[in-house]
């Protein structure tokens, strides 16, 4: 007997075998009985298994697809949020560059004041001079231009900071020069004799007066007109009691006919320090200060080194 024949014989036996299904109501009423072949039972059972398996697979696919859709929605939301962040970064960068431009204009003015020379436009645009700044944490795929622009703005800001540091240094130098430049009248009083040719009031004859004479009461304080170091404090022919101060930058000042000295040689003085008091020692016909200013060893008109009060701190 072949295998096919055996299968046919098996099916025929199953068809011949029957089972009874009794449906009995829970209450009163007649029960109903169905007779069905065993073969059909197997067929119906197999169909139900296939149906249940298919339903299970379809359900799994549905759940998986739903998760994928949710994931895509989440990625889309994140992408949109990131897009908004980049737009905000771009807007902030533009505002930053506007402020840099305003600072650059201010910087140019300050550089002119301090004789530093302007920064060429192409150098300022390129931000040359600043170190490369690590902003790799800002790098986003596909947005390299934004990152490049940020990098450039940071370099420009660094250049600006370097320039301000130059200006601060220049300002400090300027301040130091100003502090060591005679800039005030050493004592109160009236200028009675200027920096000019004149007749000598004691010996007669015409000679050049190398300073100015400030007439005032005996004992009036004399102050240093600038920072410096006392190079002489004592008596000299003609000057009487006198003080010489070296200020640096080629400046020297001298004070003659004092009644009393307050400083000694080597003493450092600041502008405004009292160094002596007005008198009439030496070749003087009355109490006054004889005040000389020298630049590079040459006498100059002291009146040129008395600035208006509003220019002095």
Which spans of this chain sit near Zn ion (rule: CB under 5 A)?
A: 213, 290
Nearer to Zn ion among residue 203 and residue 310 (C-beta) = 203
Shortest distance, position 217 Cβ to Zn ion, whole Å:
17
Point out the residue whose Cβ comes nearest to Zn ion.
Answer: 290
Nearer to Zn ion among residue 178 and residue 283 (C-beta) = 283
Nearer to Zn ion among residue 213 and residue 227 (C-beta) = 213
| CB within 8 Å of 277: residues ≥ 6 apart | 218, 219, 220, 221, 222, 258, 259, 260, 262
Angle of helix 38-113 versus helix 144-179 axis, rounded to 10:
20
Shortest distance, position 291 Cβ to Zn ion, whole Å:
8
Shortest distance, position 278 Cβ to Zn ion, whole Å:
12
Shortest distance, position 245 Cβ to Zn ion, whole Å:
17
Distances (CA, A) of 186 to 100, 226, 239, 254, 292: 46, 9, 16, 10, 10
Structure tokens belonging to residue 93: 């960068």
Shortest distance, position 262 Cβ to Zn ion, whole Å:
21
Distance, CA of 43 to CA of 262 (rounded, Å): 130
Nearer to Zn ion among residue 185 and residue 290 (C-beta) = 290
Nearest to 182 by CA among 129, 225, 130: 225
Shortest distance, position 213 Cβ to Zn ion, whole Å:
4
Q: What does the chain come to in residues?
A: 313
Nearer to Zn ion among residue 124 and residue 290 (C-beta) = 290
Shortest distance, position 287 Cβ to Zn ion, whole Å:
12
Q: Assess contact for 225 and 182: CB atoms under 8 A.
A: yes
> What is the phi/psi pair of residue 76, to 5°?
-65, -45
Nearer to Zn ion among residue 107 and residue 213 (C-beta) = 213
Q: Assess contact for 182 and 299: CB atoms under 8 A.
A: no
* H/E segment holding residue 41: helix 38-113
Nearer to Zn ion among residue 213 and residue 252 (C-beta) = 213
């Amino acid at each position: 007997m072949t295998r096919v024949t055996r299968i046919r014989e098996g099916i025929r036996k199953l068809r011949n075998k029957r089972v009874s299904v009794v449906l009995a109501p829970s209450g009163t009423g007649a029960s109903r009985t169905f007779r069905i072949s065993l073969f059909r039972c197997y067929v119906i059972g197999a169909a139900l298994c296939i149906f249940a398996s298919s339903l299970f697979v379809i359900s799994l696919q549905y759940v998986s697809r739903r998760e994928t859709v949710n994931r895509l929605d989440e990625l889309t939301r994140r992408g949109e949020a990131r897009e908004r962040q980049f737009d905000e970064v771009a807007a902030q960068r533009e505002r930053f560059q506007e402020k840099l431009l305003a600072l650059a204009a201010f910087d140019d003015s300050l550089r002119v004041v301090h004789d530093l020379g302007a920064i060429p436009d192409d150098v300022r645009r390129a931000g040359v001079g600043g170190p490369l700044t690590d902003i790799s944490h800002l790098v986003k795929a596909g947005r390299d231009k934004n990152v490049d622009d940020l990098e450039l703005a940071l370099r420009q800001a660094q250049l600006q900071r370097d320039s301000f540091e130059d200006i601060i240094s220049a300002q400090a130098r300027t301040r130091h020069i100003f502090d060591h430049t005679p800039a005030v009248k050493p004592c109160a009083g009236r200028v009675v004799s200027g920096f000019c040719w004149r007749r000598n009031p004691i010996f007669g004859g015409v000679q050049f007066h190398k300073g100015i004479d400030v007439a005032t009461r005996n004992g009036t304080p004399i102050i240093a007109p600038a920072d410096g170091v006392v190079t002489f404090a004592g008596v000299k022919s003609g000057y009487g009691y006198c003080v010489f101060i070296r200020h640096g930058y080629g400046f020297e000042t001298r004070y003659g006919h004092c009644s009393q000295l307050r400083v000694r040689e080597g003493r450092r003085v600041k502008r405004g320090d009292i160094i002596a008091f007005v008198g009439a020692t030496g070749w003087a016909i009355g109490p006054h200060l004889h005040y000389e200013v020298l630049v590079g060893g040459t006498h100059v008109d002291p009146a040129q080194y008395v600035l208006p009060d509003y220019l002095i701190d």
